[in-house]
Structure 1
């Protein structure tokens, strides 16, 4: 606990709050014991981080309008971004969870890490107030915010992907939710983006929209397809025929 407190920049007066923030719901389900898990603190921490990161962005980018600030904040509090910050402080190693959840990769799952980070923010807020939470937010998110450079990036991955693909073919990409899990108040979704008969990327998110945006971002990072599906099929048939003839 001392190491984690050092990383967070906050020493808890009530360490039971930190323990609660690190307790995954699977532990109670598996042990069949009634014990606090981090879902309530996650709810609070989500609001705390939204407010504090809004404040940081508002102060840093004096000329950015509301729409751009909103998009930039959404980028910082996305499941992927929160999980990245959580991995940076090795938060997964501190989580208390059921063996089944752990055996299925729970300590490295983006949603579990993001939820735990939000819960920790909620715990810091309750234990030390807004100033302690602000100090933690600046400490943990400085590198992510610095990576934005002199101005926040106006990111619209779905729009950018559509523009990139329509330069190759008039066909638009389509999105599909292939999996959802979790209770109603803490859903997790997996989406895929398809184009010209093939999957270009998949993403995770706590809403369908967030999952679709993440799928588009993954597709953009992979770069434009080198050939259409029809060309790909033709090439494969041609190659197979040549091999058979040879």
Structure 2
């Protein structure tokens, strides 16, 4: 690895606050986590992103068990959804300016609309890279727990603002329209594809919105949020994605 790249990645790792030893294997895996598929390189972020997805969910579950064990199961599920969301990952990545360390192919470099997705994917891959190098979730906790505390505080203070499905359901039932219906289909089998699932949400056979997501749950939440936005101007409350 080029010495300047090694120094760059060392600085990034130190800024995580994970308190980990900077070993050659760690630098290699972090470099891979920050190498986008568009570069055409065989060692790219995809495998680590796949691993990071599982590691993130487990670590977030442990965080909730440690700090919010009194929550009901449903509330735990809703909170975890926010602690592992693409939006949350992108925010963590933005705080690191992770895109400045990401190696991109020419096509991806020109796609400014994909900045949020690139940050989320790279952050998830970085989680996977750290875990693969260290084999230990505690480093992940040291890095992510401060971010999770901030998000959890906001979610628990105003839970409906972070759950579009709940907010839409309360609105539709309040209007005497019954429950919303979500029709979700898988459009791609590629892990990490932000448009892997497509969801259409309707109330009493009236389609309100369509949205996509990396999982069925995310697509449904996005569709609910889009429906609430479409209903703006009525008495429908607002919810963030």
For this structure pair, what is the TM-score category when the shorter chain's length is used for normalisation? 0.7 to 0.9
**Aligned-pair CA distance for 1:9:** 1.8
Task: Give the alignment's Cα RMSD to 1 decimal.
Answer: 3.4
**Aligned-pair CA distance for 1:145:** 2.4
Maintained 8 Å contact 1:175/1:193: yes
- State the structure with more CA Rg: 1
Whole-Å separation in 1 of the counterparts to 2:178 and 2:74: 29
Which residue of the other structure, out of 36, 42, 54, is the alignment partner of 1:35?
42
Maintained 8 Å contact 2:177/2:203: no
1:121 maps to 127
The answer to whether the aligner puts 1:18 opposite 2:25 as a matched pair is no
SS in 2 for 1:186: coil
Aligned ranges 1:154-233 → 2 under 5 Å = 156-165=163-172, 167-168=174-175, 170=177, 180=187, 184-189=190-195, 191=199, 193=201, 203-220=211-228, 224-226=232-234
Count, aligned residues: 220
TM-score w.r.t. the length of structure 1 is 0.72
- 1:63-122 Cα distance to aligned partner (Å, 9 max, x none): 212222122112211222222222232222221121112212265133x32221111111
Whole-Å separation in 2 of the counterparts to 1:101 and 1:175: 33
TM-score w.r.t. the length of structure 2 is 0.73
SS in 1 for 2:191: helix
> Gapped runs of 5+ residues in structure 1?
29-33, 228-246
2:77 maps to 70
Aligned ranges 1:142-161 → 2 under 5 Å = 142-149=149-156, 153=159, 156-161=163-168
SS in 1 for 2:71: coil
Cα 1:202–1:6 change in 2 (3 A) is: farther
